[in-house]
Each structure stands twice: as structure tokens, then as C-alpha cells.
């Protein structure tokens, strides 16, 4: 079964290698454009994360494709066909420099923007700088939202799971929201996938998360840390509205919760007035 040396047609094994590499390339490219895409970001921070993620994914997939293709090629091309020992090569300065320097360049090029992004995400605005401050409190097993400026509380008691309507974290579009995430019992994780940034709710700790929603809409959210029997019921929605709509909702909710005097005047609990300015 030895191949004649002057055979111009590729050997069967090289045809198989070529087919495998082609399948690998198709699957890799298809995956990159589909299952490896992030949810559509709806916050400024999420858009920044996605902008960074795309080149990281392209580089990762290119390296994966290159290395795996080379491996498949080597397995088929250099399989043992006879008793003879192939040419023995001990080291190549050019190759070794290349596979050292190129990864260093790639890693440094990714490290710098990654650090800048992480610093940005990990540097929340102060409560005065933020337009809206909300507390997200994890309970076994529901989320409670508290608007400390106005006293509004959403889902302050355990929900009726038989007719469960996920509590809404209502926020205005285009304004900086500071979420103070905490827990009253075990560790939970606060995440609306389209923000692309999750944070844990840890008992005894307040973790800060900030975002500015860019597109009005109602977005799915849930607990992402297994926290007990009804973990899967720990749903919420991020309801992002135009600022005027948000103010209307806040006013109506204050009235419904008996926090407003009903006469349309500013109330002593302080907080957000009807025109959106913050009372100090």
C-alpha cells in the first residue's frame, strides 16, 4: 500500500484530512456567528463588553482552527507507513521565536483593553453621581427591588408562585442606574443577560452594579446562582422606559403604596421629583 513517489493525485489519507479540516472550518465559522454570539446588549456597558468580545472570539477561533487543522494534517500526513525513521529535526529558532512572540503580542493587545473595560465596570458611580439608585435584594426565592429615594418597594413579600408575575426593575432609558445588590439569606446572582454583566448577591455584603440602558424594552432576568428549591422561580424583568414614562410609573407606584400625598406635591421621603431631578 505504499504510494508511488510521483503520484500527482492526493493520497486517500490527505483527502480525508482535507475533508475533516473543511468540516472543522465550517463548524467553527458557523458557531462563531451563532451559538457563540452574546445576547443583544441593551446597555452602554453591555455594548462595550460585546465590542471587546468580538475580536477576542475571532482571535480565539482563528488560533483554534489553525492549531487543530495543523494537528489533523500532521496526523494524516506523517503517519507511519514503513520501518524507516523519518528525518529527525531538533529545534527551529525561527519557529520557536514565532510561537513565542506572536502569542505575547496577542496577549498584550488583549490585556490592555480588557483591563480598561474591567476597571470601567468595577468603578460604579457614587450615589450622587448616579441618576437612579435601586437596591436589588435576593431572598429565597424572589427578588425585591427598593427605590430608597422614593421609598417604593417592589415585591417586598414572598410571591404567590401559582400566579407568579416576575417583579419588574423599572429604570429610565439613558440614565445611569446604580444597583446595590445584596442578599438576606444565601448567595444569589443578579443577572439580566442582555446587560452582559452579572453580579453576586452575597449575605452581609453590598455589591455595586451600574448600567445605562440604551433601548427601551422589557428584558428577562433571573438568579444565576443555584440557591435552593425554588431557584428557578427567581425571575425578574428589567423594564426600561422613556424617562417621562418612568416618572409616571414611579408616581403611580408611590401613590399605590401610600407614599405620596396624592395631591401631586413633593413628598417628604425625598427622592425623585416628577421632572426627573433628584431632590437632595
Chain residues that interact with Cu ion, rule: CB under 5 A: 188, 223, 227, 231, 234
Residue 21 or 223: which CB sits closer to Cu ion? 223
Sheet with 217-223, edge to edge strand ranges: 168-172, 235-241, 217-223, 188-191, 199-201
* Residue placing its CB nearer to Cu ion in the complex, 183 or 212: 183
Residue closer to Cu ion (CB basis): 76 or 142:
142
Least distance to Cu ion from the beta carbon of 40, Å?
A: 24
Task: Give the nearest distance from C-beta 195 to Cu ion in angstroms.
Answer: 17
Please state the closest distance from residue 141 (CB atom) to Cu ion, in A.
7
Q: Which is nearer to Cu ion, 48 or 188 (CB)?
A: 188
What's the burial of 234, exposed, middle or buried (CB within 10 Å: 0-12/13-18/19+)?
buried
Q: Of 236, 179, 188, give the one whose Cα is nearest residue 212.
A: 179
Q: Which is nearer to Cu ion, 32 or 227 (CB)?
A: 227
Backbone angles phi, psi at 207, to 5 degrees: -100, 140
> Of 193, 174, 186, 188, whose CA–CA distance to 238 is shortest?
193
Nearest approach, Cβ of 252 to Cu ion (angstroms)? 30
Q: Which neighbouring-strand residues pair with 188?
A: 201
Radius of gyration of the chain from its Cα atoms, rounded to whole angstroms: 28
197, 201, 207, 210: CA torsion to nearest 10: 30
- Looking at residue 155, the DSSP 8-state letter turns out to be S
CB of 227 to Cu ion, least distance (A): 3
Minimum CB separation from Cu ion for residue 186, in Å? Answer: 8
- Minimum CB distance to Cu ion smaller for 59 or for 186: 186
196 by Cβ neighbours in 10 Å (0-12 / 13-18 / 19+) ranks as: buried
Amino acid at each position: 500500500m505504499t504510494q508511488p513517489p510521483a503520484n500527482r493525485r492526493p493520497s486517500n489519507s490527505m483527502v480525508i484530512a482535507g475533508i475533516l479540516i473543511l468540516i472543522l472550518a465550517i463548524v467553527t465559522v458557523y458557531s462563531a456567528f451563532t451559538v457563540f454570539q452574546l445576547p443583544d446588549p441593551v446597555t452602554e456597558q453591555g455594548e462595550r463588553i460585546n465590542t471587546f468580545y468580538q475580536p477576542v472570539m475571532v482571535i480565539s477561533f482563528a488560533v483554534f482552527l489553525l492549531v487543530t487543522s495543523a494537528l489533523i494534517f500532521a496526523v494524516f500526513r506523517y503517519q507511519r507507513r514503513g520501518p524507516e525513521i523519518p528525518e529527525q529535526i531538533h529545534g527551529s529558532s525561527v519557529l520557536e521565536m514565532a510561537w513565542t512572540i506572536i502569542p505575547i503580542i496577542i496577549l498584550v493587545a488583549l490585556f490592555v483593553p480588557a483591563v480598561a473595560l474591567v476597571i470601567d465596570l468595577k468603578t460604579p458611580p457614587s450615589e450622587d453621581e448616579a441618576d437612579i439608585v435601586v437596591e436589588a435584594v435576593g431572598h429565597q426565592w424572589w427578588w425585591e427591588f427598593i427605590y430608597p429615594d422614593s421609598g417604593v418597594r417592589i415585591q417586598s413579600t414572598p410571591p404567590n408562585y401559582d400566579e407568579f408575575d416576575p417583579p419588574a426593575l423599572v429604570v429610565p432609558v439613558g440614565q445611569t442606574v446604580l444597583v446595590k445588590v445584596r442578599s438576606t439569606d444565601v448567595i444569589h446572582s443578579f443577572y439580566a443577560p442582555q446587560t452582559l454583566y452579572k453580579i453576586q448577591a452575597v449575605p452581609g455584603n453590598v455589591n455595586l452594579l451600574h448600567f445605562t440602558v440604551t433601548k427601551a424594552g422589557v428584558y428577562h432576568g433571573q438568579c444565576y446562582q443555584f440557591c435552593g428549591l425554588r431557584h428557578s422561580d427567581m425571575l425578574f424583568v428589567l423594564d426600561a422606559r422613556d424617562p417621562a414614562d418612568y416618572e409616571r410609573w414611579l408616581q403611580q407606584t408611590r401613590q399605590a403604596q401610600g407614599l405620596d400625598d396624592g395631591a401631586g406635591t413633593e413628598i417628604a421621603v425625598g427622592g425623585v421629583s416628577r421632572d426627573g431631578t433628584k431632590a437632595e
